[in-house]
Each structure stands twice: as C-alpha cells, then as structure tokens.
Amino acid sequence: MSAVFISYSHTPLKLKKKALKLAEKLNEIGLTTTIDHYKLKIGNDIDRFIEDVSNPEIYTHVLCLCTKDYYIKSRNTQTGVGKEIIQIEKLI
C-alpha cells in the first residue's frame, strides 16, 4: 500500500487549511495520507513521528508544500519542518 506524508508549514493559517483540505482530497481518491494535524496527538513522540518520514516501509511518497515560511523553517533544524527536511534528505 502506498502512503503519502505531507510536510507543510503551519503558517500562514491559510496554508495549513489548504494542506488539510489536500490531505482530505487525496484520501477521498484512495491515497493514504499522513498529516500531523490528524496523526500527531498530545503525548505522542514527535521525534519518532518525524523519523518515520524516511522509512520506505511506512511512506512511499513525501509531498512538501513549499512556501517562503516553509523554506525559512526548513533551514532551522529545531523546527518540525527542519527536522522533517533532515529525514527527507535521507531519501535522496
């Protein structure tokens, strides 16, 4: 089964809403998607969740919604996006 991990910036809020809508649409057409808003809950191991991005047994595709905010956050390895980029680079 193929699964898609969606990486995006939570800012601006308008983008976050679009990312959630995209995940819903992809699910509707039969693609399994993972987006933190739905899968990551309080008390979950955030670092483990992010490390799974580079596990091909879990995700066959990674979709990055790149914006200026995303790019800025991707340069900081302390942000969620920055940590996700480290994992995504392992796939290249």
Q: What is the pLDDT of residue 69?
A: 93
* CA separation, residue 88 to residues 11, 12, 24, 55 (Å): 20, 22, 22, 10
Q: What is the pLDDT of residue 64?
A: 95
Q: What sections of 1-92 are H helices per DSSP?
A: 13-28, 36-39, 46-51, 68-74, 80-89
Instruction: Please compute the mean of the pLDDT values over residues 77-90 and round it to a whole number.
Output: 93
Residue 55 has which token pair?
């596990």
- Residue identified by tokens 């091909």 is 56
Residue 63 has which token pair?
């979709």
Cβ contact 75:18 at 8 Å: no
Q: What is the pLDDT of residue 1?
A: 61
Q: What is the pLDDT of residue 92?
A: 81
Instruction: Please compute the mean of the pLDDT values over residues 47-65 and round it to a whole number.
Output: 92
Provide the whole-model pTM. Answer: 0.88
- Asked if residue 6 has pLDDT above 70, the reply is yes
Average pLDDT, the chain: 92
* CA separation, residue 77 to residues 22, 43, 49, 51, 86 (Å): 26, 21, 15, 13, 8
- Asked if residue 84 has pLDDT above 70, the reply is yes
